[in-house]
Amino acid sequence: MPAIETVAIIGSGNMGSGIAQKSAQEKFKVQMVDREEKWVKRGQEIISDLLDQALERRIFSDKQIDSIKSRIEGVVGTENINPNTDLVIEAVFEDFEIKKEVFAILDGVCNQNTILASNTSSLSVNDLAKATNRPERFVGLHFFYHPAKNRLIEIIPAETTSEETLLAVEAYCKAMGKVVIVCKDRPGFVVNRFFVPWLNEACILLEEGVASTAQIDSIACDAFDIGMGPFALMNLTGPSIALHATDYLADQLNTPRYKGASNLREMVANNKAWEIDNNTKYSESVRKIVEKRLLGQVFAVASQIVDEEICSKEDVDRGAKVGLRWNKGPFELANKIGINTAYEISKEYCELANLKIPNLLKTQKESSKPFDFSYVDVIISKDIATVRLNRPEAMNALNVDLVNELGQKIDDLNDRDDINAIILEGAGKAFVAGADVKFFVDKIKQNSFKEIYDFTAYGHEVLSKLENSSKVTIALTTGLTLGGGLELALACDYRIGTNKTQMRFPETNIGIYPGLGGTQRTVKICGVEVARYAVLAGNFLNAETANAFGLITHLVDQNYITKTINEIVVGGKPNNKFRHQPIDFENKNVVFAKKFYSDDNIKLILDGNQPKDIQGIDENMMLRQMKSISYTAPIALEIAADLLEIANSKDISLSDGLSQELSNLERIFSTNDALEGLSSLIEGRRPSYTNS
């Protein structure tokens, strides 16, 4: 099935206009549809207002905003959409009959290849699919508010949804930069299943007189490590939404405990918001009651979700962290307070709600071990194994657990005779956005360099498993590929990119140097001058430049990724992975790098002096490059430059060069500049280096 390129959104309210805006931002051609011209114009005004805010915050330029708006066409009447639209998303009221009417029109208008989707937070996707004439080309989507800002989306395939439909819609959502949870069609899906009863349980606590709204919010914020409690959240989104959702769950799941509390009904009937004062003082006994009840409810319901195989526990946590912006998901919170405690308070809640204690909690209690999590998925199709790094809430950043699991999975695949190719891909928008910087900061502050070394050394082993694999290895660098992620990709035989690919080595800008082979493989792939351009100044490389450098081996349209993979696998492993030169010598950045970062100029540049009289390159490019170099950490710049020279030496093997990278780790991580640079990245500020 071709990739989705054109999208129509039926409904131009806050949700519909938000989906239209985000789609246009990601370069999809969009039709925003409503019944009357005034509603279409209202949707366009909502988008304009949000884009104006983005302009004020310097998220977009005037030119970008004009481009986004140009991709959104207003359409009056569902019957007037382009019949060849790839995907139509219905985003009207949560009313089955209204949605059914919309799909009846769409079935008559759209061609047989158009995929239909419903943006719903509650209705049965299976029932909606049956209401169309194309149940195999139907899927449920649950965008989270605001769809232009919130990164989470739940995809709910109906029992009739074809695999190719699901894959196409998943690719669209990923291209939108969404963190995707694919889940079963059960009431509340994933996030609302545990979140909505949590809101109602807070109302019950208030109704029982256990604590005030302010006290409950304060206790909830501390217990869940969140910025806004249940009553503040309901005031933000509207108590009526909470009431509708909790009544729906009570009915669908036959759970009277979820029936909207009487005080919530009163708020909605009187069109009021919760009153929340500033008195957040409470006794220890009150704290325990509120905390146990809210945590117990979340643990119990989250475990029900996993028991019912709606999704994995990793996805439940992901939904909480991305969709609700919690710092920890339910299962991570259970680990934090201890499995025995989590079990006991869940059991108390289940007794109150007349629910069975979930099997998952029982089993975990019997083991007395914390929940463990998997962040690397392996999907086998014939003789090709796709290894998906599934930590999209952290842009798939490499941490100890992920790297250890990746190493084990690669070992398993390398040992299999039925596998001919290993494909690496990242879940979500990024391939891998570098390493987990907080790990480095924590270990530096703890004076525990050994843990940094062990993590990096094992990372080298994992990359070696890929590089020396007998299988064809391919990295799908179709999104953000930074630092350690780029180093991981360079260990593969091939790297496939699209127009959404962005690559960068940011290390010298944050006080360190690329330590997972970046200083060595980059030189051997694209030559020392181009490697200096990429590594020393930390330049962002778009898809065209990365392809010209040779960092991307295959730059293709999104539609042709599968075809390209198959062609690569048939062709087998490359005869010469290390060309020591770029692919396109005519590319302007290749021309610049070859001249500016030549052996004759490099010492001047490292000393902070701009080379003179370089023929054929733009003066402004040189000025920008010198400015970029000035922002780097001096010690990191020096070490990185030395390591690039080692990689360029004909007398030193790749293995010896990688050893040199490792041997310089202690030197760089013991500097004040490393701590300053890494800390500044976490804190979102510009570093101040002291060359110490």
**Is there a contact between 549 and 556 (Cβ–Cβ < 8 Å)?**
no
Catalytic site residue from 17, 121, 218, 396 = 121
Start-end ranges of CATH 1.10.1040.50 in the chain? 191-367
**Is there a contact between 403 and 459 (Cβ–Cβ < 8 Å)?**
yes
Q: In this predicted model, what pLDDT tens digit does every residue of 652-675 receive, in sequence order?
A: 999 999 999 999 999 999 999 999
> 3-state DSSP call for residue 86?
coil
Tell me how far apart the alpha carbons of residues 83 and 81 are, in angstroms, rounded to a whole number. Answer: 6
What pLDDT was estimated at residue 617?
87
Other residues' Cβ atoms within 10 Å of the Cβ of residue 692: 9
What pLDDT was estimated at residue 94?
87
Tell me how far apart the alpha carbons of residues 175 and 170 are, in angstroms, rounded to a whole number. Answer: 9
| Amino acid identity at 543 | A
**Is there a contact between 189 and 274 (Cβ–Cβ < 8 Å)?**
no
Give catalytic status of residue 118 as yes or no: no
What pLDDT was estimated at residue 183?
97
Query: Mean pLDDT across the chain, nearest whole number?
Result: 95
User: In the CATH scheme, what is the code of domain 191-367?
Assistant: 1.10.1040.50
Given a cut of 70, whether residue 430 has pLDDT beyond it is yes
Catalytic site residue from 119, 126, 150, 192 = 192
Q: In this predicted model, what pLDDT tens digit does every residue of 589-632 receive, in sequence order?
A: 999 999 999 999 999 999 999 998 888 888 899 999 999 999 99
CATH architecture of 6-182: 3-Layer(aba) Sandwich (3.40)
Start-end ranges of CATH 3.40.50.720 in the chain? 6-182
Which strands form 541-542's sheet, in the order they lie side by side? Answer: 430-433, 480-482, 502-504, 541-542
Start-end ranges of CATH 3.90.226.10 in the chain? 376-683
Q: What is the distance of C-alpha 116 from the center of its chain?
A: 25
Catalytic site residue from 154, 314, 425, 507 = 154
What pLDDT was estimated at residue 177?
85
Q: Which two tokens stand for residue 265?
A: 């009904």
Q: What is 600-640 written as a DSSP string? A: TTHHHHHTT------TTS-HHHHHHHHHHHHTS-HHHHHHH
Tokens 């879940």 correspond to what residue?
Answer: 427
pLDDT band at 1 (very low <50, low <70, confident <90, very high): low
CATH 3.90.226.10 matches 376-683 = yes
Give catalytic status of residue 121 as yes or no: yes
Q: What is the distance of C-alpha 20 from the center of its chain?
A: 20
What pLDDT was estimated at residue 2?
73
Tell me how far apart the alpha carbons of residues 648 and 566 are, in angstroms, rounded to a whole number. Answer: 33
Other residues' Cβ atoms within 10 Å of the Cβ of residue 247: 17
Give catalytic status of residue 244 as yes or no: no
Give catalytic status of residue 154 as yes or no: yes
Look at phi and psi of residue 173 and say left if phi exceeds 0, alpha if psi is from -120 to 50, else beta: alpha
Q: Which two tokens stand for residue 476?
A: 């799908």
Could you tell me what percentage of the chain is helix, strand and coil, using 3-state DSSP and rounding each to the nearest 5? 55, 10, 35
**Is there a contact between 116 and 88 (Cβ–Cβ < 8 Å)?**
yes
Catalytic site residue from 119, 142, 162, 648 = 142
**Is there a contact between 177 and 23 (Cβ–Cβ < 8 Å)?**
no
